[in-house]
Amino acid sequence: MTATATPTKTMTMVAAINDALALALEADETVHVFGEDVGVMGGVFRATDGLQARFGAERVFDTPLAEAGIVGMGIGMGLAGLKPVAEIQFAGFLYPALDQVLSHLGRYRHRTRGRYHLPMVIRAPYGGGVHTPEQHADSPEAILAHTPGVKVVIPSTPADAKGLLLAAIEDPDPVFFLEAIKLYRSVKGEVPEGPYTVPLGQARVVTQGDDATVVCYGGMVEVATKAAEAAQAHGIGVEVIDLRTLVPMDTETVLASVRKTGRAVVVSEAPRTNGFHSEVSATIAEEAIDFLRAPVVRVTGFDAPYPPFTSVEDVYRPNPVRVARAIRQVMGY
């Protein structure tokens, strides 16, 4: 990311995403933005607000309500030369389109030996923390990251959201871009004006520390950072690593940190079994076992559907207290 002297603006994450989409639509006329309610209304979270008015109903358009149709049509658009940027209204409603994702999205380049490829981006709000109704808070990133040929990006700051989204749109391969609902408006940050990219596959070291590593992404970065601050108050130096992209994963940054600290906590709000956090844990165990001073600990959701019960939602979703407890656990092993 370019640093020096670029003018910046304070923005929410959703505004940064909107900014990125506008820049992409402006820069490349093959870019098309579509999905349910993205046109006239500007999306249920307003991520596409004003884009149809500015770029026309041919390039920013509402589709019929059918997710397999949205993803499947986008696949056809992509292989025939357009840059489809589809929105799935909530990640929990991606499931009708999973066949298209699993059967085709990641396979086009491979099944045509490079003759066709799919420069498609699928954006979807994901995750909990804002008391949504049933199935609006799912975190299905592991399913996507388990699909060969599909990249998975999950930003945690407005500046990253913009730069990663522009990188995703530039990328010649299909990219899932998951946006933590919790962060859309709750975080604000300085966002460079104009176009720039944050390369896929590079993690961000959020806080530096020598005693324990916390690996996280998306909505969990802010939770982990709060826990790290609390630990710091007790003299424990915690290195928080925001993965930013799950595929490709920046294994090197994770391992370098774990080799330094000897302790690792992995945090995500997805269900525990077979989550992406398990992949991170296994990688650490395989590659850095000699450096570990404690078993890797996962802090995750549970193996139950995300609860729509407002009063107990926070039991499911990891909070700073749970992460701090895990840090204590690896410190005290």
Q: Determine the Cα–Cα distance for residues 76 and 213; give it in Å rounded to an integer.
A: 42
Q: Determine the Cα–Cα distance for residues 306 and 313; give it in Å rounded to an integer.
A: 8
Least distance to another protein, CB of residue 116, Å: 8
Residue 50 or 172 with smaller CB distance to another protein: 172
* Adjacent-strand bridge partners of 176: 122, 152
Residue 14 or 168 with smaller CB distance to another protein: 168
Least distance to another protein, CB of residue 103, Å: 5
Residue 50 or 76 with smaller CB distance to another protein: 76
Least distance to another protein, CB of residue 24, Å: 16
Question: Which of the residues 117, 136, 234, 277 is marked catalytic?
Answer: 136
Chain residues binding another protein by CB under 8 A are 32, 58, 63-64, 66, 68-69, 71-82, 84, 96, 99-100, 103-104, 106, 109-117, 148-149, 151, 171-173, 201, 247-249, 251-252
Check if the beta carbon of residue 245 is closer than 8 Å to that of residue 153: yes
Does residue 277 carry a catalytic annotation? no
For residue 116, the 8-state DSSP code is S
Check if the beta carbon of residue 32 is closer than 8 Å to that of residue 77: yes
Residue 86 or 296 with smaller CB distance to another protein: 86
Least distance to another protein, CB of residue 8, Å: 30
What DSSP letter does each residue of 300-329 carry, written as one string? ---SSPPP--GGGHHHHS--HHHHHHHHHH
Burial status of residue 102 (CB atoms within 10 A of its CB: 0-12, 13-18, 19 or more) = middle
The residues carrying an active-site annotation are 136
